[in-house]
Structure 1
Amino acid sequence: MSASAEDPILAYGARIAGDDARTRIVIDLDREPKFSVHYLADPPRVVVDLPATAFGFPAKALEARGLFKDIRYGTMDADSARIVLTAIKPVKLVLAKVQTDESGKGQRLVLDAEMVPPDQFADLVKQQSWTAQDTARDVGPVAPVQKVNASDFLIAVDAGHGGIDTGAIASDGTTPEKQITLAYAKELADKLNQQPGIKAFLTRDKDEYLSLSERVTIARQNHAALFISLHADTLKQKDIRGATVYTISDKASDKLAADVADRENNSDKLAGAEAPAAPAEVADILMDLTRRETQAFSISLAQDVLNSFNGQITMINNPHRHAGFQVLRAPDVPSILLELGFLSNKDDEKLLLDDKWRDKLVSRLTDAVKEYRASTIANGG
């Protein structure tokens, strides 16, 4: 049976070989794709954009080696996929083409990378017409889950990571953070939508990539009164476990918070989708007051979550921490980032993958949101 035009291309095999001067990547495909190649600097990266593609080979088949220290691949949106090759030094594809395989039926994408002098790489980046603007898609309001009334308290539930950005990986080697956060986000939105006067929507409801800026924009364009981003990170210290609630601040509360924020803020870069640096904002007294008020509300929400979790959900030492998370930067939407637990800790990982635990944690989180809403209404918010 021939594949319809709508079917994604199947990438069913992959291999990589070479050293730190020249590296070859071969990907087996069920049919010929149209593809484009771009380069990004700091760090040097090769970005290969493809039509919708299902990657069906084991992760081990395309482990980083040779010239590449990190290799990511996955969905960008319904019509496109991407491979991002992060290099250890300036690099160029001296060959990038699709060839018919030995059977004459399948196709192969062959990428030959070679090290190049830094000035040559800088020219490659400069000469291409593609810019970081091409990585940002227009984001309109999401389709409302239900009819929303003007009096409804609207909440954006953000499942961290997605698509090409897998996030952390569970110790079984197969369960990515993006899958865990989506399961928790869907259940949280469902529970919130059962509460009178509360409506929730998801920033993503499937395995797709969203930049940090897009997540914030979706919340603002839908006039959310709250933004809750869910994550399940890994740490080098395997003994640390428990939930953590983060709010935004210019200065991190501690090294752990700074490290987590750096990793989360890096996800756009790993997906080859960082936006160009925004121009410095003009100091606006009204905007500054809005930010300060929003920050106070964010801290209040964080406290409600901690109160609801207390004695019920395991929490890290000093569970309210703060750092410069880009995903929390909406000036007018109170926002928290909740680390559900750490996939690097065996006990946390077991709970994170447990349906009953998910139900319990989401129920406590729903209670916290109800408490926050009740106190803002009582205070005339």
Structure 2
Amino acid sequence: MEEAGMLEKRSYTGLYCSGCERFMTKRDLDEAGNCPNHKKPPEEVTEENYFFLMSKDTDNLKNLLTKEWDGESYRIIPESRAQETLALIDQGLEDVSFSRPKSSLSWGVPVPGDSDQTMYVWCDALTNYISGLGFFTDKEDRSFWDDATVTHVIGKDIARFHALIWPSMLKHVGVKTPDQLLIHGFLTSEGEKMSKSTGNVVMPGDVLEKFGGNPDPIRFYLSHEIPVGNDGDFAWDRFEKLYDSVLRNNIGNLLNRVLVLLQKEGGGLSDLEKDEGPWSGYEKAMDAFDFSKALHHAVAFADSINASIDTVKPWELDGDRKVSELAVMAEHLRHLALMLLPFTPDTAQRMSKQLGVPYADRMLDTDFVITEQMRQFGGQKDWKSVGEPSILFAPLS
């Protein structure tokens, strides 16, 4: 970056927030002049630092986010966060402090050629994304970065650094920028910010203990309740209602109903029409990182299977019609398990094992892929036999 003319050492006076570990401008503060994250005013500091001259890249960064910069583009998700970033650019970008005097920051990596200065967190921390992959060493393997679609997942409080500073740094050292930046919100508790002082912090261990060590219920809740890019809220009453109504009474009871019918009535080989209805909306949402919407598609699919059982009443049918309807319901459940796999992996595998599908044992392998063949209706199983039903979600005590 120094060779590219993007670093300059100069004296600077600014407002420094020790909690955020960065200098702030007055427009970053709330109406009371406090840091909005730490609720206290930053300290005015005068010192000599090395600055990254990001102001030079104002037009380049705007092009990167809206068009392209030297053949590269950078997509920010969701769109609301992209617009916030563009607004920051339009307000005018400032240069960024990349070092602190050793007298005020004794611990850290010294600036090469200037032992009186210590590398500051944002220069030092951001480079770990690629230094951890062996960049700029004799053993570097850049295929993971260069030959892949790179998506960064970060919290909204550090969006500015990853949306502006990081891509600007990369462009000036000749390294590919990430392709996408997914910015998520915060998690509150009963509508309030989690804080030890207020005693409203929800500990993951407590949630796991309540569900016998199974992480699937909390994974389901967080994925279902938090839209992409927005803040989410954890509430015990909402969690328990969702567990009972969706996981236990909808999905769990649905699997049991179909398995019992198959064992009692006898399923069989049936010609199944190709139907990608549930996958179309699901995959569109997944591709947009809208995991909540995708999971809602899966739950709606479970609702439709339940409704179909009540409408068709397969126990009242005879012969080939009964065989066909039961096979369709079992096949729908096979697809439902695949749709649930990214959100509730253990549950998805247990469903598949009870259905007796051939790939069930491999579903939690790191290299397991939902193939095009798996997504087609029919061809995976003849439904002449299934496993024994067992409870997916036990009643809450």
TM-score, reference length from structure 2: 0.26
TM-score, reference length from structure 1: 0.27
More helix by share: 2
Structure of greater Rg:
2
- Report 1 or 2 for greater relative contact order, CA contacts < 8 Å, sequence distance ≥ 6: 1
More strand by share: 1
